[in-house]
Copies of this chain bind each other. A is one copy, B any other.
């Protein structure tokens, strides 16, 4: 099912050292699930780290183990593709706090029971610290590039700011240097939906079957709206009815957009852990790269030698172009080389995952410089 030319490898490893966290605790025996594509060259100079988004995982270009769907960035990663696995050794790991192999709230704590809400609150920097530890284990001192879209872009920024010597290039797509009040607000709705579901049970649902599926589905539905543009939704669904010619004057999913959203919500619960959703959204809300560096974003990039590329999309209202512009200004102030482009694409925030040929050209052009 996976193209052998991808040279897919990976698995999971236990970090040899305890992982210190921004919250003050440290985690023992952190497991990291990851995949690699392509081959590491003799100089170990061709590694590209891809950081995934909120509900993504390390199956960048391999089938998802639960859904069987193609990898989430299969259109971008592969032989001859914008992130060319004939050329680069591509690494992607499931983030700390997630639920597809890397340690998170569903993982066993020291007492053998799931961490659940005993899991410490983590930050984007903690996720990156995990990735750096993975690179250490893989013997990679410096990346050719770190790349990420959305929350992956936050990780790429945090990587560049906190481990500036570890990468030569940074590509940040559809992202932000801090979560806005509106971003936090939407996440808070999702968390409240999960926590309001009686099946959440304070997070201790693992032994009891399915968990807070209804709440998680509502959280996903609300978030999903923010991933799409208003115009994109209109083009895709408008006010078209679902498998009917007349409104039913009832509460069924009369409109296609309702049916679509319900499907998005329900199918998400098959592949994602509700507590992971709480922890990862919290990490995103806590993200404020300037705050970590004395309140001045340019300070975050003071020691940076890497070259940067920032990509935004004109229809992205979750992390709109203005957010990328703030990052570009800070990089300019720090004297870092940066190219910044706003691409036109109709899909809203999700454009970075979709068919945007201009993005392909930007990625390939930047990587292959």
Contacts and interface: CB of A to CB of B under 8 A. Distances in A.
Interface residues of A, number: 56
A53 to B, nearest CB: 20
A342 interface: no
A196 interface: yes
Contacts of A22: 249
> Most B CB atoms within 10 A — which of A120, A121, A234, A262?
A121
Interface in A200-224: 214-215, 217-218, 221-222
B285 A184 contact: no
A120 B282 contact: no
A197 interface: yes
A236 to B, nearest CB: 7
Nearest to A23: B249
B181 A233 contact: yes
Contacts of A272: none
Nearest to A188: B258
A237 B183 CA distance: 12
A191 B251 contact: yes
B189 A222 contact: yes
B192 A218 contact: yes
A121 B261 CA distance: 21
B286 A247 contact: yes
6 contacts: A184-B258, A185-B258, A192-B262, A193-B193, A195-B251, A196-B217
